[in-house]
């Protein structure tokens, strides 16, 4: 089976980081994404859980309103409440979180739109560009 989700959206609250008894970091945050169809728009609200060093980075660098790309898998937790009724909650277990906010420009320095780091290329995408699809071959965008 294939269980993969990729979302680009804005955090709905600041990440909350906690540590397990054996010292592993786990951060949780909400994310909101918009989907346009015709002249309508709908918003999806999801819960994200991220582990280890990435959890610490998320807690340090992201805040409510930050734009992020989250890729991972869906996971559903089930439990019985105090009344014996079965409850469930689906969340996104993030395998990767990319920070999508533009870098703040420094005064009197040329702005680099592309950065190459450890053989990987990072492109700063302005807010006016809507990401439509990310796949093995590349990125498709829509200019607003």
Query: How many H helices and E strands in the chain?
Result: 1, 10
Of 6, 93, 79, nearest to 51 by C-alpha is: 93
Query: What is the Rg, in whole angstroms, of the alpha carbon atoms belonging to the chain?
Result: 18
Helix (H) or strand (E) holding 83: none
Of the options 1.10.10.10, 3.20.20.100, 2.40.50.140, 2.30.30.90, the CATH number for the domain spanning 5-102: 2.40.50.140
pLDDT digit string, tens, across residues 101-120: 876 555 544 445 555 565 66
pTM over 0.75: no
Q: Specify the pairing of strand 5-11 against strand 129-135.
A: unpaired
Q: Where are the domains of the chain?
A: 5-102
Residue range 2-21, pLDDT digits in tens: 899 999 999 999 999 999 99
Reported as a single tens digit per residue, the pLDDT across 43-62 is: 999 999 999 999 999 999 99
């Amino acid at each position: 089976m294939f269980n993969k989700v990729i979302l680009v959206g804005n955090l709905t609250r600041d990440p909350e980081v906690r540590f397990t008894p054996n010292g592993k970091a786990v951060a949780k945050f909400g994310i909101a994404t918009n989907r346009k169809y015709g002249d309508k728009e709908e918003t999806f609200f999801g819960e994200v859980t991220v582990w280890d060093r990435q959890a610490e980075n998320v807690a340090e660098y992201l805040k409510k309103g930050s734009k992020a790309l989250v890729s991972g898998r869906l996971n559903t937790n089930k439990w019985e409440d105090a009344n014996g009724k079965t409850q469930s909650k689906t969340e996104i277990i993030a395998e990767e979180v990319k920070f999508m906010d533009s870098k703040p420009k420094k005064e009197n320095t040329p702005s680099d739109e592309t950065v190459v780091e450890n053989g990987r290329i990072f492109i700063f995408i302005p807010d006016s560009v809507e990401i439509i699809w990310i796949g093995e071959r590349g990125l498709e965008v829509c200019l607003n």
